[in-house]
Amino acid sequence: MGERSRFVVSPDWLEAHLHDPGLVIVDGSWYLPDQGRDARAEYDAAHIPGAVFFDHDAVVDPSSDLPHTLPAPSVFEQHASAMGIARTDTIVVYDGPGMFTAPRVWWMFRIMGADSVFVLDGGFDNWQAQGRPVTDAPTRTAGTAFVPHCNARAIVTFNAMRQIVDDRSAQIADARGPGRFAGTEPEPRAGMRAGHMPGARNVPFGELSDNGYLKDLDGLRAVFERAGIDLDEPVVTTCGSGVTAAVINLALASLGVDDSRLYDGSWSQWGGRRDTPVETGPADG
């Protein structure tokens, strides 16, 4: 096995450090309707001891009509503080299958200024299958103060995305599957056009991991190389609603690309409008 990402922790490491002071474990699971899984119900039935639940549908901008819009720092502060998380804590995030929605939570905490944030390699499904500790006991949290330092530059707005598409000032890495990217498969959300932004490259998030474990650094480089992404040039990530795009940001950061940005509106915004250019078929070149 080659060199691993500095932003993931192994199940062995987490099990050995479950009771460390200043360690916060976050269940960041979320599922699409067709996956047939209820993240909150699964958390209530079994979670890693001490884990708190991060609700992707609640920690959002309440004024936005788009799904999973990043909230203002003051709103994020309220939620994180209620979960008992401080910006200075060591935060380990997991989801069910691994490398699906946990990277979005990793990205959000980092955007809001937390420096010590990691993703559990393999996810909870593998953790549970390996017979590691789980509980259904509610996690008691003491209120704390999460003081955000938001890195607004890492968030791409709609207007900025239009400019990027027009002037090709950054590479666009789309995390959706090849069928949705090419427009041969329908979008899961009603009213979405099929296809991708002009100039985008397809980096399906599932290709960045194996069985829920993030690929080693050589494996990650190979995925980006096949997709035609130059790691020395600016990259903006996108997906359906801004969630799985963060898997690409995690992979890029693992390779030392610390300045990648994420288009938060993603295809829910771009594909839901009628005044944005859309292409179908595989990526050019």
Encode pLDDT of 140-190 as tens digits: 988 789 999 999 999 999 999 999 999 999 999 999 999 999 999 988 888
CA dihedral 161, 163, 167, 172 (to 10 degrees): 0
Closest by alpha carbon to 92, among 127, 58, 61? 127
Residue 8 — pLDDT band, cuts 50, 70, 90? very high
Q: How far is CA 47 from CA 38, 95, 163, in A?
A: 13, 10, 43
Reply yes or no on whether 239 is catalytic: yes
Mean pLDDT score of the chain:
96
The pLDDT assigned to 189 comes to: 83
The pLDDT assigned to 78 comes to: 96
Q: Which two tokens stand for residue 40?
A: 């909150």
Is a pLDDT exceeding 90 seen at residue 108? yes
Q: What is the residue type of 26?
A: V
- Distance between CA atoms of 170 and 165, rounded to whole angstroms? 8
Q: What is the mean pLDDT of residues 54-74?
A: 96
Residue range 186-241, pLDDT digits in tens: 888 888 899 999 999 999 999 999 999 999 999 999 999 999 999 999 999 999 99
Is a pLDDT exceeding 90 seen at residue 68? yes
Read off the DSSP letter of residue 182: H
The pLDDT assigned to 285 comes to: 55
Residue 89 — pLDDT band, cuts 50, 70, 90? very high
Q: 């720092």: which residue's tokens?
A: 73
CB 113 within 8 A of CB 149: yes
Q: Calculate helix-pair angle for 217-227, 245-254, nearest 10 degrees.
A: 120
3-class SS of residue 52:
strand
Is a pLDDT exceeding 60 seen at residue 82? yes
Domains of the chain and any CATH numbers: 8-150 (3.40.250.10), 153-270 (3.40.250.10)
Annotated catalytic residue within 192, 239, 253, 283: 239
Q: 């949290």: which residue's tokens?
A: 141
Residue range 109-125, pLDDT digits in tens: 999 999 999 999 999 99
- Rounded percentage of the chain residues whose pLDDT exceeds 90: 93
- Distance between CA atoms of 139 and 136, rounded to whole angstroms? 9
DSSP secondary structure of 208-228: GEETTEEPPHHHHHHHHHHHT
The whole-model pTM stands at 0.97
Sign, CA dihedral 44-48-49-55, equals negative
Q: What is the mean pLDDT of residues 242-258?
A: 98
The pLDDT assigned to 86 comes to: 96
* b/e burial code for range 74-94 (CB count within 10 A of at least 16 → b): ebbbebbbebbbebebbbbbb
The pLDDT assigned to 190 comes to: 81
Q: Which residues on neighbouring strands pair with residue 77, listed in sequence order? A: none
The pLDDT assigned to 1 comes to: 67
CA angle 209-211-214, nearest 5°? 30
Beta strands in the chain (DSSP E): 8-9, 23-27, 52-53, 90-94, 117-120, 155-156, 171-174, 201-202, 209-210, 213-214, 235-238, 261-263
Q: What is the mean pLDDT of residues 255-283?
A: 96
